[in-house]
Chains A and B, each alone.
Chain A
């Protein structure tokens, strides 16, 4: 039950953080001078198209852009009634995209779960690669295994993602017939889920996962190796070895558990960097995630669309942090939330 209470408590702080994030997102988006509609109006005025100006003015009042900033914010979140009553994020109305002339919900639609999917795959990749490699590198430190994995890891860290992507696309297509760009064969777009569609998505995921995950995996692996090396020098390890414990069992039973903390806690660090990193990678790789949409929205100052996407990315990050916190408590009895109060 303790853990449940803790989870609820963490959920509460998450909501609060989200609220703060929403204020900041809205404020930052409004920092540059002008907005999509005023730019539009300026252009239409300049070319003398008063019909368009009238429409833009109408949209301004329809979406309360003519009100003070704090009111715009409250209406957007749904704390304050807009021209059509309470209709904000809380009520499930994500706003209107001026650039695409469609409701935000229609535009992001499918891309939301694809974003989650890509990031989930990348996180899984990071753990699946970093765990065995980190352990082997520590157990066989200063041997060719260690050096090779470190070399490959640093290469992954140091190579710019977009370059890695182009190289992988080229050779992946040449030797393994992997597809270039996209997250599924275009013929499956908008089709209901089927085995073929899943297969297509999985094949398309290979390169993006690798590109987004490599640098995270390299860093994670080095951290695990360093932590494990610290533990391996401790007397209890020596004792265990002296008593004739099998090395593999000894390693997994004691030092690995001790070295595991940062590994789990890192989800909190990993997710934000990966989610924001994947935005750019998605643009380069042409993935149908939320990344390209965010870029267009920011470039055209499409207020509601960019605000919504940023909020979504923030939400992903916060959920990741929360999962890592809860896991940490489960994993390590020494971490206790009551400790805070006493």
Chain B
């Protein structure tokens, strides 16, 4: 387990030496996929395409098998927006986690970290974007000077993770291969942020985007483009073209292993191998092994049926615990796939988040009363949900970290999570909600019945089933639950604007924190924690939007994050973590139902290098990302 800056420094030293190994490896081989293009003179040969110092992965040393190029991997997504998963699965980051959650340079050749204050990023000489343009510090400079600090493109300035107590870094670009970020105070979260599933790209394909930037483009051409795209200004056009994460602009160069080769709204999207990708294996074969990824957009209800029919080579998205039976049946019937059961990294499989920033004054008062939140939690019969929906395979309990985390404490999981309707009733009575109407539903202070509308993303059947059971449980304590299924984006928008009273989502994405993990997601720093959207906005916009946290426990959480950031040792970091987890368990900001339900992963029988036991987690993890899908290959090269 690493945590100290010293370790990162040591790591970067080893990283500096890996290139030497690259020179010893056999010559890089041309891929069959691009051979015709190379012979036609449209592409330079592979030796000229990969960086001078490629990243050589030693698969044998990691217990994997070196593979062969080729094949098409079929996978399914349920919404056309989800093609952005290719950026997540591709997981080419400046620095990325390996399977042990340690940070390694990836796109970077190496990095140096001096006391978390000065970060030197060393690029690979000869590294190129997928269109062949060089990837240099100019791309970082363009982003920093002309995008992040451009008032029209980013009115609020550079993103939040670059600010340390409001202070922006000094960024310098001494040579084409070096970028230096420097703060006067430590920014311990900088490198971790770069390794996120949804990374803050701190670089842009400058050569491509300058065509749309007022400072570089020819005014007449730009005006024509703006008009053509039906947008109001060059800034809007630039933002529209510049979607490194959305991945929907097939013209935008990328550094990911696969590049988008389909434009527009289609049912089938094809992603082909990036000819300039920077990773090769120990035999000199350029990664990714798989030539083409084919993503098909299907209706959410059909993912399991289609996987059962063998139409997916690698599938986890859209599959849930309840699909395991049909997947196993397909295997038994002679399907061409196997179903691996991976662990999940979320702190709770299902969690209810009462919105402490709801616009309705009365409800806000009620939901802010900790006795109400505790009562709602106590009234839920978690064991019966576990039995009815998860064959007792999940772990009922409140939202807290999972067992593999060093901070796991069984007491926190049990806090306010035992089934005790009597105590719940007492708590609600004590909270002043002791009047009931003719149907036995409690009355709010202003006389309305206590009908709590819980909004869901409408994506997971088990959430809806669990809510049915909770509806009955809560009737016992005189609270009426009304469930309202919405769309994922609408749900978020409603929560962010304070319209929704309560919502259901997963628990914290990262249920496996270690001392070096920033605990910021436990504090009101981000609107995506659905219990405090407005406090999160306040922090994210440096006070321009949202509301300042006005509950002492929430303020304490903010202090503890600061403590963690300023901490010099693991003992201090652990102390901050432990206290924050205690506050969460005590305050019940998110009512966790259960955790640890296995995630089915369908894997084609001839697909190799997919770990049988893995963790399916968003961040850190990037779903398949940290398991490096560019190293997966089909036996014999076709599939």
A102: contacting residue among B265, B486, B496, B497, CB under 8 A: B265
A49, CB-defined interface residue at 8 Å:
yes
Of A42, A48, A96, A173, the contact of B544 (CB 8 Å cutoff): A48
Q: Does A122 lie at the interface of the complex (its beta carbon under 8 Å from any beta carbon of B)? A: no
Question: Is residue A43 within 8 Å, beta carbon to beta carbon, of the partner chain?
Answer: yes
Tell yes or no: A193 within 8 A of B by CB.
Answer: no
Q: Which residues of B contact A55 (CB under 8 A)?
A: 231-232, 236
B298 & A174 in contact (Cβ 8 Å cutoff): no
- State the CA gap A337–B154 with chains docked (Å): 67
Contact partners of B544 in chain A: CB under 8 A: 48
Check: A31 CB closer than 8 A to any chain B CB: no
Contact code string A40-53 (vs B, CB < 8 Å = 1, else 0): 10110111111100
Q: Are B490 and A299 in contact (CB under 8 A)?
A: yes
- Check if B541 sits within 8 Å of A48, measured CB to CB: yes
| Stretch of A6-14, A73-81, A220-228, A283-291 contacting B (4+ beta carbons < 8 Å) | A283-291
Does the CB pair A186–B268 fall under 8 Å? yes
Any A CB within 8 A of the CB of B156: yes
Given contacts A162-B301, A286-B302, is CB(A46)–CB(B497) below 8 Å? yes
Q: How far, in angstroms, from A283 to B487 measured CA to CA in the complex? A: 14
A187 at the interface (CB under 8 A from B): yes
Instruction: Please give, as numbers and ranges, the residues of chain B lying within 8 Å of A186 by CB-CB distance.
Output: 267-268, 294, 296
Interface residues on chain B, size class: 35 or more
Main secondary structure on A side of the interface with B:
helix
Judged by a CB distance under 8 angstroms, whether B235 is at the interface is yes
- Please give me the residue from chain A that is nearest to B492 by CB atom: A43
Within 8 A of A (CB), among B341-392: none
B465: Cβ under 8 A from any A Cβ:
no
Judge whether A42 and B306 touch: CB under 8 Å: no
Residues of chain A within 8 A of B546, CB atoms compared: 46
B-chain residues with CB within 8 Å of residue A187 when the two chains form the complex: 268
A96 to B153, CA, bound (A): 24
Q: How large is the interface on A (under 10, 10 to 19, 20 to 34, 35 or more residues)?
A: 35 or more
Most A-side CB within 10 Å, residue of B239, B265, B311 = B265
| A288 contact from B231, B267, B487, Cβ within 8 A | B267
- Whether B490 pairs with A285 at a CB distance below 8 angstroms is no
Complex alpha-carbon distance, A288 and B305, angstroms: 18
A40, B497: Cα distance in complex, Å: 10
A296 neighbours in B (Cβ, 8 Å):
487
Whether A48 contacts B545 by the Cβ 8 Å rule is yes
Q: Are A182 and B298 in contact (CB under 8 A)?
A: yes
Known contacts: A174-B333, A181-B299. The answer to whether A299 contacts B487 by CB under 8 A is yes
B245 to chain A, nearest CB (A): 16
B527–A47 touching, CB < 8 Å: yes
- B224-265 CB mask vs A (1 if < 8 Å, else 0) is 000000111101100110000000000000000000000011
Per-position binary interface string of chain A over residues 129-173, scored 1 when its CB falls under 8 Å from any chain B CB and 0 otherwise: 000000000000000000000000000000000100010011001
Chain B nearest CB, measured from A225 CB (Å): 35
Q: In residues 190-249 of chain A, which contact B (Cβ within 8 Å)?
A: 190
Query: Nearest chain A CB to B633's CB is how many angstroms away?
Result: 23
Contact B267 A180 (CB under 8 A): no
How far does the Cβ of A198 sit from chain B's closest Cβ, in whole Å? Answer: 18
Q: Which residue of A lies closest to B298 (CB)?
A: A286
Interface presence of A58 (CB below 8 A): yes
Question: How far is it, in angstroms, between the C-alpha of A273 and the C-alpha of B555 when the chains are bound?
Answer: 57
Residues A166 and B299 in contact in the complex (CB < 8 Å), given A42-B497, A190-B266? no
Chain B residues whose C-beta falls within 8 Å of the C-beta of A47 in the assembled complex: 496, 527, 537, 540-541, 545
A181 touches B302 (CB 8 A): yes
> Whole-angstrom distance between the alpha carbons of A285 and B236 in the complex?
37
Q: Give chain B residues whose Cβ lies under 8 Å from the Cβ of A51.
A: 152-155, 235-236, 239
Query: Which of B299, B486, B537 is close to A285, meaning CB atoms less than 8 Å apart?
Result: B299
- Among residues of A, the one whose C-beta sits closest to the C-beta of B543 is A48
Q: Is the CB of A283 within 8 A of B155?
A: no
B116 CB–A CB distance under 8 Å: no
In this complex, what residue of B is CB-closest to A173? B309
Establish whether residues A42 and B493, one from each chain, have CB atoms under 8 Å apart when the complex forms. Answer: yes
B258-293 interface code vs A (CB 8 A; 1 in, 0 out): 000000111110000000000000000000000000
Chain B residues contacting A30 (CB-CB under 8 Å) are none
CB distance from A263 to the nearest CB of B (A): 34
Instruction: Flag if B299 contacts A283 (CB, 8 Å).
Output: yes
B550 sits at the interface (CB 8 A) = no
Tell yes or no: A121 within 8 A of B by CB: no
B308 within 8 Å of A (CB atoms): yes
Decide if B489 is an interface residue (CB 8 Å cutoff). Answer: yes
Kindly name the residue among B231, B233, B266, B302 whose own CB sees the greatest number of chain A CB atoms within 10 A.
B302
The residue in chain A whose Cβ has the minimal distance to the Cβ of B296 is A186
Q: Which residues of B contact A286 (CB under 8 A)?
A: 298-299, 302
Is A54 an interface position by the 8 A CB rule? yes
Name the residue on B nearest A296 (C-beta).
B487
Residues of B within 8 A of A95 (CB): none
A39 interface contact, C-beta 8 A: yes
A189: contacting residue among B152, B267, B309, CB under 8 A: B267
B545 near A45 (CB under 8 angstroms)? yes
Q: Which residue of B is nearest A43, CB measured?
A: B493
**CB <8 Å contact, B541 and A170:** no
- Please give the distance in Å from B144's CB to the nearest CB on chain A: 18
Pick from A43, A106, A174, A189: contact of B497, CB under 8 Å: A43
Interface residues of chain A, those whose CB is within 8 Å of chain B, are 39-40, 42-43, 45-51, 54-55, 58, 96, 100-102, 106-107, 162, 166, 169-170, 173-174, 180-182, 186-187, 189-190, 283-286, 288, 292, 296, 299-300
30 contacts between A and B (CB under 8 A): A39-B490, A39-B497, A42-B493, A42-B497, A45-B545, A46-B497, A46-B534, A46-B545, A47-B496, A47-B527, A47-B537, A49-B156, A51-B236, A55-B231, A55-B232, A101-B240, A106-B265, A107-B265, A166-B301, A169-B305, A180-B311, A181-B302, A182-B296, A182-B298, A186-B294, A189-B268, A286-B302, A296-B487, A299-B487, A300-B489
- The 8 tightest CB contacts between A and B, nearest first, are A186-B268, A48-B541, A286-B299, A48-B545, A58-B232, A48-B544, A181-B302, A43-B493
Please give the residue numbers on chain B whose beta carbons come within 8 Å of chain A beta carbons, in ascending order: 152-156, 230-233, 235-236, 239-240, 264-268, 294, 296, 298-299, 301-302, 305-306, 308-309, 311, 333, 486-487, 489-490, 493, 496-497, 527, 533-534, 537, 540-541, 544-546
Q: Contacts A43-B497, A51-B236, A190-B266 given; 10 further ones with Cβ under 8 A?
A: A48-B545, A49-B156, A51-B235, A51-B239, A173-B305, A186-B268, A189-B268, A284-B299, A286-B298, A296-B487
